[in-house]
Structures are given as C-alpha cells and as structure tokens.
Amino acid sequence: MPVHRSGTTVPLSSSWRPRRSLLAAAGALLAVLSLLLTLPGTAAADAAGADVPPRGSARLGMGVIAHDGQGGLPRDNRAVQTEGVDVSSHQGNVNWSGLWTSGVKWAYVKATEGTYYKNPYFPQQYNGSYNIGMIRGAYHFATPDTTTGAAQADYFVNNGGGWSRDGRTLPGALDIEWNPYGAACFGKTQSAMVTWIRDFLNRYKARTGRDAVIYTATSWWTQCTGNYSGFGAANPLWIARYNTTPGTLPAGWAYQTMWQYTSSGPIVGDHNKFNGALDRVVALANG
C-alpha cells in the first residue's frame, strides 16, 4: 500500500518489503554461522580442527598407515636381525624389563619436536632403556615449516639428542615424514626440503661428530625431496614400511640400517629390526 509523508503519497514496489525481509534474514543467518565457527566447543569448530592433532604429539611413523597402508609381518629370510623399539610420550612410562625379556635389545626415544616441544617422559624412557641393558638413541620429529634445520638440530642436541662415546648410545635420528599438522611436505618445494634436511644434518654433525640417522618412508621421500640421493653415503637409513619386506628404498641407499615394520607389536607398538646382529648395533653406537 502507499505510504503518506507530509500529505504526499509515495507508491512502494510490491516486492520491497519481502526483499528487505529476505536480506535481513540472510544477514542474521550469516552472523549466527560466523559465531558458531569461532566459538570453541561447537560442532562446527570441532569439525574444522578434528583431524589436526596438537603440536608436540607427532611420533615416528604416525602417517605410515594412512599413506602407505599395512600388510603382513616380515618374512623369515634367515638374515640375522636385532629387535628394537621406538617410543614417545604416547607410551608414558615404558615396561623396559618386559621388552628386554621379550628380546628387544635397542631403542630410540623421542626427545624433541621443532623448537617448541620436549618429551616429558624422556628421562624414564631414555635412561630406563639404558639401565636395563639396551643400546639407546634419541630422535627428533622435524617440522621444517616452523624453524630452520640448524635451529632444530641445536634444540635436539641441547635437549637429549647428543651422542657419547660409551658404546651404548646411538647417533641421533631425524624423523622426517608426513606433516600431521598440515601439508605433507610442510609447504616446501623439493629443493627447499633437501636444503632444510642438509642444514639439520650438517649442524648435528658439527655439534656431535656423528652423522645422524634419517628415518623416513620411500613414498614421502619421493614426493617431498624428489627422491634425492645425496645423503645415502653418510647417513644411515631407517625405513618405515609396515609390510613383509622393506620394499623399494629411497635413492642413494642400497640397504636399510633399520626398519620400522609395525606399529602394533607387543608391549610397545612400534617395533623395528636392525639389519644385522647385536654387534652391528654396537658398531653403529661406537661410530
């Protein structure tokens, strides 16, 4: 109907009021959705971050099954191998006595991640494995998107990742694999990733005198470094593959030094095989 203003009749379009109502309703709906997305604890907010674990929670091989799947357990090829485990804060206080009795003779313990996280269970795990008689080492979970390789190597060495010539301490290991917090390759090009890894390895050797072990999976290494072959001559390979064999190795390595073959082993899930008898584990510890 027309609107009267100061005696003047102003005709209105018949669609004016419905359009105004629709615009108001749409605006209110957008405001509510925006609020839901920003409120902690809401279904929308939870869904947005449901698949991203908290920083510091990464561990060796956490992306292997999702990206590479899993098959059977290793076949008996009559090669002499030595059983080992790797642990992080996910295992809490570890039953080292039970592992030792079961035949586990070496262990790697997560020490650090990035330059922001130290494993709170590191003393119990690192010293406990040593005290029971195992040869032990520490590993660092790399986050190339947060700080430089050199900075992370320093953080690792300063917080448990060093090396001592005692015959029972393995060189530190660089865990470089899928990014659990974002893009698989941490937002880096293949050449930039190689540079980051090289910076870490160079700083670690300068600090400790040892060449660090590289833990990775062939599929990640191919995707994120372009299957770079330049580290095989100096850095021992720790390959991740949950199947009957280690499979194809990354370029530059003719054999693996260690193989993480399962995440569901006895007592501690992550079990590994050292490619040789116990005296070869000792040899790696001695450098």
Cα 159 from Cα 256, distance rounded (Å): 27
DSSP for residue 71: -
Q: How confident is the model at residue 29 (pLDDT cuts 50, 70, 90)?
A: low
pLDDT, average across residues 118-131 = 98
Kindly name the residue from 68, 113, 154, 175 that is annotated as catalytic: 175
Answer yes or no: is pLDDT of 247 > 60: yes
Residue 176 has pLDDT above 70, yes or no: yes
pTM assigned to the model = 0.80
Q: Which fold has domain 64-286?
A: TIM Barrel (3.20.20)
Query: Would residue 83 show up in a list of annotated catalytic residues for this protein?
Result: no
Cβ atoms of residues 112 and 159 within 8 Å: yes
Residues 226, 24 contacting (CB under 8 angstroms) = no
Catalytic member of 68, 113, 177, 270 = 177
CB neighbour list of residue 227: distance below 8 Å, 6 or more residues apart: 221, 250, 251
Cα–Cα distance list, 115 to 147, 159, 180 (Å): 7, 10, 16
Whether 175 sits among the annotated catalytic residues: the reply is yes
Average pLDDT over residues 83-105: 97
> Which residues lie closer than 8 Å to 161 by C-beta, 6 or more apart?
111, 112, 138, 139, 140, 172, 204
Residue 10 has pLDDT above 60, yes or no: no
Task: Tell me whether residue 166 is one of the annotated catalytic residues.
Answer: no
Note the pLDDT of residue 27: 54
Interhelix angle 218-225/190-208, rounded to 10 degrees, is: 110
* Bridge partners (DSSP) listed for residue 185: none
| Residue in the structure block whose two tokens are 């749409």 | 26
